[in-house]
């Protein structure tokens, strides 16, 4: 905990654009909870594995501009390590153990909606949306 001008800051830190936040998303029973996450550039998304895994996070490529694709891909540098998972763009590693956490710092994306899904459970409807706001 930091103290700034006598004010205690518990859940956040100062970034270039102001207070940046940590947004936690639980991956549980084929759902992202919450499934819609509103965030600003600089915020940290923490995807936390729960039951029914392995789960992961993969952003949908079909609606991205080339620039947005590059920014998101660069924000997800850690590639899958497990031999059964492919090294694919815009995808996190598989989260296997309970509590495994994958973090993405939201890059300087244009405001808009960015869809993502869990690769193993795409057909089960495990989808979510990142809403980037200015």
**Which residues are near Cu ion by CB under 5 A?**
55, 118, 121, 126
Which residue lies nearer to Cu ion by CB, 100 or 109?
100
Which residue lies nearer to Cu ion by CB, 67 or 88?
88
29 φ/ψ sector (left φ>0, alpha ψ -120 to 50, else beta): left
Which residue lies nearer to Cu ion by CB, 40 or 121?
121
CB of 118 to Cu ion, least distance (A): 3
Token pair 């808009």 is at which residue?
A: 112
Between the alpha carbon of residue 13 and those of residues 20, 34, 39, 131, the distances in Å are: 6, 22, 14, 21
CB of 56 to Cu ion, least distance (A): 7
CB of 57 to Cu ion, least distance (A): 9
Q: What residues contact residue 17 under an 8 Å CB cut-off, 6+ apart?
A: 40, 41, 42
């Amino acid at each position: 905990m930091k103290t700034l001008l006598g004010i205690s800051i518990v859940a956040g830190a100062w970034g270039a654009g102001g207070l940046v936040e940590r947004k936690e998303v639980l991956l549980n029973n084929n759902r992202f909870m919450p499934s819609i996450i509103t965030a600003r550039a600089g915020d940290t998304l923490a995807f936390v594995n729960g039951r029914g895994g392995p789960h992961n996070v993969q952003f949908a490529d079909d609606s991205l501009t080339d620039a947005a694709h590059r920014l998101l891909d660069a924000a997800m540098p850690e590639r899958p390590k497990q031999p059964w998972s492919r090294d694919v763009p815009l995808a996190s590693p598989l989260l296997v153990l309970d509590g495994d956490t994958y973090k993405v710092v939201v890059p300087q994306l244009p405001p808009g909606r960015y869809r993502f899904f869990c690769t193993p459970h795409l057909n089960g409807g495990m989808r979510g949306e990142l809403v980037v706001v200015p």
